[in-house]
Amino acid sequence: MTAEYRLILLRHGESEWNAKNLFTGWVDVNLTPKGEAEAVRGGELLRERDLLPDVVHTSVQKRAIRTAQLSLEAADRHWIPVRRSWRLNERHYGALQGKDKAATLAEFGEEQFMLWRRSYDVPPPPLADDDEYSQFHDARYAALPTEARPRTECLKDVVGRMLPYWYDAIVPDLRVGNTVLIAAHGNSLRALVKHLDGISDADIAGLNIPTGIPLLYTLDADLRPTAAGGEYLDPEAAAESIEAVKNQGKK
């Protein structure tokens, strides 16, 4: 008999800076009212499909933490154990943090914009530690040695810092039979999906994750997806939102 594990990925609902079309990264912005509603809807979808999480993992960023909370309340699972790690944080966007996506596209052109935004291994320029949008001195990262606190990251860097948490914290939760919810971010979830589905460095550029729509993966005994790409619990809304994420920056 093949063991099967249930993993649910949930990108946070629309954030204040998603709405303003700004590069966000590690800046700790809140959800908009629309983002809060998306999180609640995400929880309702879990309840409707009887996909009730036993444990939740989040980043240490407010928009993911609040999305987890709101969706779990909607599913009446607000009481389950929660673990948080900076390793699930959004990709650090370096010097682009706080910059307008459309203005960046206009200033640097499509090729450079897409390299920074979706290439696997080209990070944006680093952000200075004293920049108003730097998190270098944020209390929540104080225990991290300075060399582990990013000043910019490409997706490859995110895969490298996320995978230890996957293997050491999330996989053990799956192995004991829990339904595991991960509430995280567009690019930290792209990193995990790349790993799970074995997507190439080139092809991952074309993958976008919608806000607030649970993505269900059923994993086999070797923690490989039984269906590539998993299943969005609201496929129509997911398709629409994926298109919107893809086109950010373009007017």
**Helix axis angle, 33-48 to 62-74, nearest 10°:** 40
Of 2-10, 22-30, 134-142, 234-242, the segment contacting ligand 2PG by CB under 6 A is 22-30
Cα 164 to Cα 168: distance, rounded to the nearest angstrom: 6
38, 90, 153, 185: the catalytic one is 90
Other Cβ atoms within 10 Å of 7 Cβ, number: 24
Nearer to ligand 2PG by Cβ, of 38 and 90: the residue is 90
Residue with tokens 């930290």: 188
Min. distance of Cβ 122 from ligand 2PG in angstroms? 13
Nearer to ligand 2PG by Cβ, of 186 and 230: the residue is 186
Closest residue to ligand 2PG in the complex (CB): 24
Nearer to ligand 2PG by Cβ, of 237 and 245: the residue is 245
The annotation status of 85 as a binding-site residue, yes or no, is: no
- Dihedral pair phi/psi, residue 83, rounded to 5°: -130, 145
12, 57, 153, 185: the catalytic one is 12
Min. distance of Cβ 248 from ligand 2PG in angstroms? 6
For the chain, the straight-line distance linking the first and the last C-alpha, in angstroms and rounded, comes to 52
18 scored as a contact of ligand 2PG (CB under 6 A):
yes
List 13, 25, 94, 225, residue binding ligand 2PG (CB under 6 A): 25
Instruction: Kindly state the DSSP code that residue 140 receives in the 8-state scheme.
Output: G
SS3 (DSSP) at 251: coil
Cα 175 to Cα 109: distance, rounded to the nearest angstrom: 46
Nearer to ligand 2PG by Cβ, of 24 and 32: the residue is 24
The annotation status of 226 as a binding-site residue, yes or no, is: no
Cα 61 to Cα 114: distance, rounded to the nearest angstrom: 25
179 scored as a contact of ligand 2PG (CB under 6 A):
no
Per-residue binder mask for ligand 2PG (CB under 6 A), 186-225, x = binder = xx--------------------------------------
Of 16-24, 122-130, 136-144, 192-200, the segment contacting ligand 2PG by CB under 6 A is 16-24
90 is catalytic: yes
SS3 (DSSP) at 209: coil
Instruction: Kindly state the DSSP code that residue 60 receives in the 8-state scheme.
Output: S
111 is catalytic: no
Cα 21 to Cα 118: distance, rounded to the nearest angstrom: 16
The annotation status of 73 as a binding-site residue, yes or no, is: no
Min. distance of Cβ 245 from ligand 2PG in angstroms? 6
Torsion of CA 191, 77, 5, 165, to 10 degrees: 40
Cα 95 to Cα 93: distance, rounded to the nearest angstrom: 6
SS3 (DSSP) at 22: strand
Among positions 73-132, residues that touch ligand 2PG (CB under 6 A) are: 90, 93, 117
248 scored as a contact of ligand 2PG (CB under 6 A):
yes
Q: Which residues bind ligand 2PG (CB under 6 A)?
A: 18, 23-25, 90, 93, 117, 186-187, 245, 248
- Which residues are catalytic, by number? 12, 90
